[in-house]
Amino acid sequence: MRIQFSKMHGLGNDFMVIDLVTQRMPLHPELIRRLAHRNFGIGFDQLLIVEAPERPDVDFKYRIFNADGSEVEQCGNGVRCFARFVHERHLTKKAKIRVETNSGVVEPEINSNAWVRVNMGEPRFLPDDIPFKAEMLPNKPLPDTYPVEVLGQTVALDVVNMGNPHAVLLVDDVLKAPVEKLGPALESHERFPQRVNVGFMQIVNRGEVRLRVFERGVGETLACGTGACAAAVSGIRRGLLDPEVRVYLAGGPLLIQWQPNEVVWMTGPTATTFEGTFNPYDFYVPEQHEEQ
């Protein structure tokens, strides 16, 4: 059995993309971990799966698996690559599609230059929606940030759900930010029961920020689309940024647009690096062979 795949990236955040509309293969965390290995597998930050929709008002179902085999709700860079993939594989002729994810429906639209604009939905800030364990007083407005004790210090975190959980931390210089230490400590902090993606944001001016993201289940990546959305939304909500923000990540820029009580729009590039085939059973552990 040979399975076709594409290797793609959005600003260096890289993906293995597989069409399971016209193909079939088993999915198991161990198989995903082995495919993700950059020496013995294909290598990727996330595996993106295209499936037939389960509801009549959408075009596709979109599943995302981290390199550690865990399934997650949303991936902003991934959904742009997903849109280009289904278009180039002739799975659809539509420039604008509706895609079902574990966190709701997103609507990517392919531009003529292969950039993709995505309606990422409305951000959520209530602690239970993140989820985040917060001590809230009745009838009090949501604070801009929450103090969190980590590694012997107190940091101020804004929390945003962009289809997946994000914590945003303001820093003076993103290049000197303690991403390697604070990232994993906050990702698995007890106050985030489903773990969290951690963004370290430096504000350059009201229309530009620099950002590094330690992604849940992956580690620091070259870019994170939902992380860029969460950072921009956090700054706009707190009055630090204008409604249109260019977010500079290690892999390149994303344009984020948001007005309070409206949806977030993300625009950015995609690229296909190569295509290939593989036999899943070359990577599989026989006793764990089962379909999900």
Return the beta strands (E) in the chain as ranges: 3-10, 13-19, 46-51, 60-66, 71-72, 99-101, 104-110, 116-119, 146-150, 153-161, 165-170, 197-205, 208-215, 219-221, 244-249, 252-257, 265-268, 271-278
Active-site pick, 32, 36, 67, 75:
75
Q: Are strands 165-170 and 116-119 parallel, antiparallel or unpaired?
A: unpaired
Report the DSSP beta bridge partners of residue 205: 208
- Residue 187 CA to its chain's centroid (Å): 14
Residue 164 annotated as binding? yes
Any binding-site annotation on 202?
no
Q: Which residues pair with 96 in a beta bridge?
A: 109
Whether residue 111 is annotated as binding a ligand: the answer is no
Please give the Cα distance from 253 to 96 (Å, whole number): 22
For residue 120, report the phi and psi dihedrals to the nearest 5 degrees: -90, 5
**Is 227 marked as a binding-site residue?**
no
Does 197 carry a binding-site annotation? yes
Is 81 annotated in the active site?
Answer: no
| Residue 22 annotated as lining a ligand binding site | no
Is 75 in the active site? Answer: yes
Place of tokens 């303001």: 170
216 annotated ligand binder:
yes
Residue 10 assigned ligand-binding role: no
- Report in angstroms the alpha-carbon separations of 67 from 16, 42, 196, 218: 10, 11, 15, 6
- Residue 13 marked in a binding site: yes
50, 118, 218, 224: the active-site residue: 224
By annotation, the residues acting in catalysis are 75, 224
Which residues are part of a known binding site for substrate? 13, 46, 66, 76-77, 164, 197, 215-216, 225-226
Which residues are part of a known binding site? 13, 46, 66, 76-77, 164, 197, 215-216, 225-226
